[in-house]
Structure 1
Amino acid sequence: MNIVCIGGGPAGLYFGLLMKARHPEHRVRVVERNRPYDTFGWGVVFSDATMENMRRCDAETADAIEAQFAHWDDIELRFKGRRIRSGGHGFVGIGRKKLLNILQARCEALGVQLCFDAEVESDLAFADADLIIASDGINSRIRNRYAVTLQPELITRPNRYIWLGVKKRFEAFTFDFQRTPHGWFQAHIYQFDAETSTFIVECPESVWLAHGLDRAGPEESIRFCEGLFAETLEGAELLSNARHLRGSAWLNFQRVVCGQWWLQNEQGAHVVLMGDAVHTAHFAIGSGTKLAIEDAIELANQFEQAGHSREQIPAVLARYQERRRVETLKIQNAAWNAMEWFEVCGERYCDQLEPEQFMYSMLTRSQRISHENLRLRDKAWLEGYERWLAARGTQAPGVKAAEAAPGRSQAAETPSGGGASRSDAPGGSVVPPMFTPYTLRSVTLKNRVIVSPMAQYMAKDGLVGDYHLVHLGARALGGAALVMAEMTCVSPDARITPACPGLWSDEQGAAWARIVDWVHRQSDAKIGMQLGHAGPKGSTCRPWDGEDLPLPADGPEPNWPLIAASGQQYLEGVSAFAQAMTRADMDRVTADFVAATRRAAAAGFDWLELHCAHGYLLSSFISPLTNWRSDEYGGALENRLRYPLEVFAAIRAVWLEHLPISVRISAHDWVEGGITPADAVQIAKAFKAAGADLIDCSSGQVSKKQKPSYGRMFQTPFADRIRQEAGIPTIAVGAISEADHVNTIIAAGRADLCAVARPHLANPAWTLAEAARIGFKELAWPKPYRSAKPQLEAGFARAAAGAKP
């Protein structure tokens, strides 16, 4: 084949040498705009896995690269006058110029033709090529030429950064945070040879502007950074490849994602994107070079498997795209999480979190490193942090004790003496974050796990019975601290289906009291009631009979009239039409909520939650997708919140003062024009001002047009943002399925409690089982079940050790 690589970065050079090494008969050219052995940039970071791949592909190149590596295991945080270090992270770095020089030399030795000082305007300049690699960087001319086919999406991020170097050796990958009168700056610092380190300085756009750095030239910007990080630099000068530039040397990161990675051009050559031309990953996890190298490896391997012939090119490129797209999206999503963390850390974390928790939050920012992964990397550091965390109170970051209303949010009793206090379990082991207690008003939860409210559709005329006793009772025995009853309806026409439970009669209150009493007598769990009104999503079949479908007209149970914020259908052309609520409707529904709240209190519930999410009645007022009223209850968010806040104030007034109330909200509608996470912060602030104790952070289910971004813990960022920015405790919910998830969320301060749903359906004793899985033996089991505890713990211990059952 006749192969041309446009762009002499890591992707083009490495692919070229791999193809030439495997099949010397190929003609391979790498065309680069810069001069020979000339490049720009400082250091790049590799992972151990990438180096293993490179060694398998071409040991000689790997040897040359490894000989120039700078190795380090530690990550160090410099923050608020403290230095905190964690080990076991295993990074390697090399100068970008050194890396390219090694690849260039290897190409020359193999017979790859290197063409420097050559500007390429179009792939059509290579009429004789069979395969063209467009590895021409983030501003790829080739990609832009075929934008309609390749479907590139470029997103410019708001933070500003300047990429510098320094003749100073840093033994750890160092993150340095500095506060200024206008906000926070952070430096990402890592060594890449025996005496030189990369030094990237980053800050929000607003902070950059406030310091006048938009008007500063490169030299002035460098002097500013030297002054800001003087203590860390210890007299060393910052260096720049951009001193020759006019104007600002500060950049915005651009994220690149492409829908299609290859095509056949009009001359018959196949053109394929590689490296930054097809995808970028933020420097917060240092994966740009890794992605480029692994692109080259995958494409070369696909040719090796299929055969190096022109006829195989389309099939090879299709498989290359399919395989690499999945992997790169994982890396890009992790990089996106890390990037967003750095973009908001000044506003969200720097002032709110103490250095210990800030370090943990930073280490787990991408969600690729979890609690147990940190234990593998640095057990001593993690256990020290667990002790520190267990000795903390339960006050949410951003909510100062002096600002909390009396009886509002109480800290659990902890040993005196501050962060150095030891808080071990009775048996001497460290208490994992998920098993630390949590106190709110007068209620102390034994751990941070909640059984989510999960609709069962097993009531008759709103009355709960033996099924609900067994269902909730089993889960109360299963180790969770709080068991929430499913959404319970405040009137017959508030139900989702005819099989939903209610609390509109004293008979129903007595049935609930029977369950509450059983839970209190037979377990150490608390039990909570979630009150709601289905609104426009009511009068439907049970899910297994037709999810969201109206009751059949000829069925045994008649439909009932529906109400909502505005006249609407949940399923267009299918659902019954809900009428816009009148003032009289509002007064009636509010009275229904108050009466149900009184019955919940009389039944002995420990906790109350108001359901304002998922497109149900109160949610229909909050979301602009479902509220287009023209009166004082429509329009701006403040007006849309008016009626839900009226209901909340009414139930808070009759609910027991010493018991907490949470509010479940949809923090994101996942539809353009709907509620956004920024709106959710304002919603949380409004409920906090009205007396809410926690915000239960769910999302979606308001519109069938939603397009959620699913994934593990996918809703946790909403709980995190609300907790820090609104200054109110939160409950995280959604795709939380293992102890590692809960521990990571709680330890990082992303939420105060975790609500676990489907895993508790599959296993009522999920919390007990997860304690055994992670080796925490101090969680008390119900006395009748204790004989099973050692066997389960031993089984998990054998599995962890890799032994056969």
Structure 2
Amino acid sequence: MKIVCIGAGPGGLYFAISAKLRDAGHDITVIERDPPGATYGWGVVYWEDLLDTLYRNDRESARRIRAESTLWQEQVVALRGVDKAYLGGYGYSVNRAPLLAILAERATELGVKIQYETAVEDLADYADADLVVVADGANSRTRQRYQEQFGTRVDYGNNPYIWLGTERVFDKFTFDFEQTPAGWIWFHAYPSAAGISTFIVECTEPTWRGLGLDRLGDAETRQLLEQVFAGQLRGRSLISQSRGKPASWQRFTQVFNETWRYDNAVLIGDAAHTTHFTLGSGTRLAIMDAVVLAQNLYEQPETALAVKEFDEAGHAALREAQIAARSSMAWFERADRYTDRGAVEFCYAMAGRHGIQRPWQYQRYLARQNLVARKALRWAGTGQRWLRARRRGEPWR
């Protein structure tokens, strides 16, 4: 089968790997408009379920990704940097640049051809391909060109946000909400590489404009944010550039498509659907799309039927995640309505943004605020990681 993948992000590259592993006879080419190593953004987070999938699907790339990943334990939510509350759990994070390098190297090893600095303008250029996998992100130019055929709807969130890095290393997934004369502004931070953390700043539009962030340049923006979050940054600087142009303020792009297939093309990952970054599911969903589509093509001899099944089952499976993502985004757009309470109550409101919380969950949450209970939960998490790693045959670290 001749397959063309548009976009060398996690979805496109991992699909190429997954399809080649299932049938080495596939002729697969990945086409990317940017040069090698160009990636905009910092780290991405994932959890044990994705790690299990990676090890089942391709142990070789999974091993390399895990080696580049950083573990974080617990979540801490702070108001004004000093009033804190805690949520349990742990996860992993990996910088986008090494993630993409690992996937590109693995795809090349399997015989996938990657063409960088090549723009795709029209699907008609690949009419001879059996399948075109469109994986060029939330702002997919290919999808935009055929938006009527895909039934595309694109909405935008209200809150401006900017994706930065910092030399301050956070060992926990950290939220910090700071009050300024113009209103509340906050960050989400987590470790993403040795000596570097991802640092996403968000606020409402009135706060953004009131602080002058709509007018400031890159250096002035970083300087102001370093002042606002000085306590949490502990003298460390913010970093804007990550192997590309300086970071810019954005509004989250919500992508919906009535169908993910048209002619010989199929959408996957953010080109097909997006979930708000406060859920941390974008990369996981793109990789799951890649695995499911590759498996469908392997099991179903008719390409059109395999893609149809992927489209229909994918829409059904994604419904719950998209509802949770919309709820999460909406909560953060109204976060200042909850800042009149202490961190413990504020944190519980944030934790419940995805749905109804039962009374017993509140009691369990209060117990987790105790230092002894938190230490016990960390030990339990260590045991869970050891068990999951052993099942995967992964070296313990």
TM-score normalized by structure 1?
Answer: 0.44
Contact 1:218 1:245 in 2 (8 A): no
Partner of 1:315: 305
Deviation digits for residues 657-713 of structure 1 (CA, Å, limit 9, x no counterpart)? xxxxxxxxxxxxxxxxxxxxxxxxxxxxxxxxxxxxxxxxxxxxxxxxxxxxxxxxx
SS in 1 for 2:8: coil
Partner of 1:302: 296
Partner of 1:263: 262
Distance 1:9 1:243 in 2: 15
Distance 2:356 2:265 in 1: 33
Distance 2:91 2:194 in 1: 15
Deviation digits for residues 60-83 of structure 1 (CA, Å, limit 9, x no counterpart)? 111111111111230001114212
Structure 1 residue 290 displacement after superposition? 1.0
Partner of 2:393: none
SS in 1 for 2:311: helix
- Equivalent residue for 1:342, pick from 324, 328, 332: 332
Distance 1:21 1:375 in 2: 48
Contact 1:217 1:249 in 2 (8 A): no
**1:19-418 matched pairs, under 5 angstroms:** 19-80=19-80, 81-87=82-88, 89-241=89-241, 249-264=248-263, 270-307=264-301, 312-346=302-336, 348-351=337-340, 353-367=341-355, 380-381=367-368
Give, as a single letter, the amino acid of the residue that structure 1 aligns with 2:51.
Answer: M
| Structure 1: runs of 5+ lacking an equivalent | 265-269, 385-805
Structure 1 residue 194 displacement after superposition? 2.6
Give, as a single letter, the amino acid of the residue that structure 1 aligns with 2:47.
Answer: S
Distance 1:375 1:303 in 2: 48
* CA pair 374-107 structure 1, distance change in 2 beyond 3 A: farther
Distance 1:177 1:191 in 2: 18
Structure 1 residue 313 displacement after superposition? 1.1
Contact 1:375 1:382 in 2 (8 A): no
Deviation digits for residues 324-355 of structure 1 (CA, Å, limit 9, x no counterpart)? 11222211211111111111011x1112x221
Q: What percentage of aligned pairs have identical amino acids?
A: 38
* CA pair 233-138 structure 1, distance change in 2 beyond 3 A: same
* CA pair 94-244 structure 1, distance change in 2 beyond 3 A: closer
Structure 1 residue 25 displacement after superposition? 0.6
Give, as a single letter, the amino acid of the residue that structure 2 aligns with 1:349.
Answer: Y
Higher helix share: 2
Contact 2:40 2:244 in 1 (8 A): no
Give, as a single letter, the amino acid of the residue that structure 1 aligns with 2:258.
Answer: G
Deviation digits for residues 198-222 of structure 1 (CA, Å, limit 9, x no counterpart)? 0000000111111111111111111
Contact 2:39 2:244 in 1 (8 A): no
Distance 2:244 2:106 in 1: 31
Contact 2:35 2:117 in 1 (8 A): yes
Q: Which moved more, 1:133-142 or 1:226-235?
A: 133-142
Distance 2:139 2:40 in 1: 16
The count of residues paired between Structure 1 and Structure 2 equals 370
Structure 1 residue 245 displacement after superposition? 5.9
Contact 2:164 2:200 in 1 (8 A): yes
Structure 1 residue 319 displacement after superposition? 0.8
SS in 2 for 1:24: coil
Structure number with larger C-alpha Rg: 1
SS in 2 for 1:284: helix
Contact 2:167 2:196 in 1 (8 A): yes
**1:391-470 matched pairs, under 5 angstroms:** none
Contact 1:242 1:249 in 2 (8 A): no
Structure 1 residue 383 displacement after superposition? 8.4
Structure 1 residue 379 displacement after superposition? 8.0
SS in 2 for 1:90: strand
Deviation digits for residues 207-250 of structure 1 (CA, Å, limit 9, x no counterpart)? 1111111111111111111110000000111001289869x921
Deviation digits for residues 168-198 of structure 1 (CA, Å, limit 9, x no counterpart)? 2111100000001111001000111232110
Distance 2:71 2:357 in 1: 20
Give, as a single letter, the amino acid of the residue that structure 1 aligns with 2:270.
Answer: D
| Structure 2: runs of 5+ lacking an equivalent | 372-397
Give, as a single letter, the amino acid of the residue that structure 2 aligns with 1:173.
Answer: F
SS in 1 for 2:154: strand
SS in 1 for 2:153: strand
With a CA cutoff of 8 Å and minimum separation of 6, indicate the structure with the bigger relative contact order. 2
**1:792-803 matched pairs, under 5 angstroms:** none
Partner of 1:9: 9
Give, as a single letter, the amino acid of the residue that structure 1 aligns with 2:339.
Answer: C
Structure 1 residue 33 displacement after superposition? 1.1
Give, as a single letter, the amino acid of the residue that structure 2 aligns with 1:354.
Answer: G
SS in 2 for 1:367: coil
Contact 1:48 1:90 in 2 (8 A): no
Distance 1:383 1:199 in 2: 27
Distance 1:373 1:19 in 2: 43
SS in 2 for 1:198: strand
Give, as a single letter, the amino acid of the residue that structure 2 aligns with 1:360.
Answer: Y
Distance 2:226 2:357 in 1: 32
* CA pair 371-108 structure 1, distance change in 2 beyond 3 A: farther
* CA pair 244-96 structure 1, distance change in 2 beyond 3 A: closer
SS in 2 for 1:214: coil
Partner of 1:618: none
Superposed CA RMSD in Å reads 2.1
Contact 1:162 1:200 in 2 (8 A): yes
Partner of 1:781: none
Higher strand share: 2
Distance 1:222 1:365 in 2: 30
Contact 1:258 1:278 in 2 (8 A): yes
Contact 2:38 2:244 in 1 (8 A): no
SS in 2 for 1:66: helix
**1:690-705 matched pairs, under 5 angstroms:** none
Q: Which moved more, 1:119-128 or 1:181-190?
A: 119-128
* CA pair 373-191 structure 1, distance change in 2 beyond 3 A: farther
Distance 2:177 2:224 in 1: 15
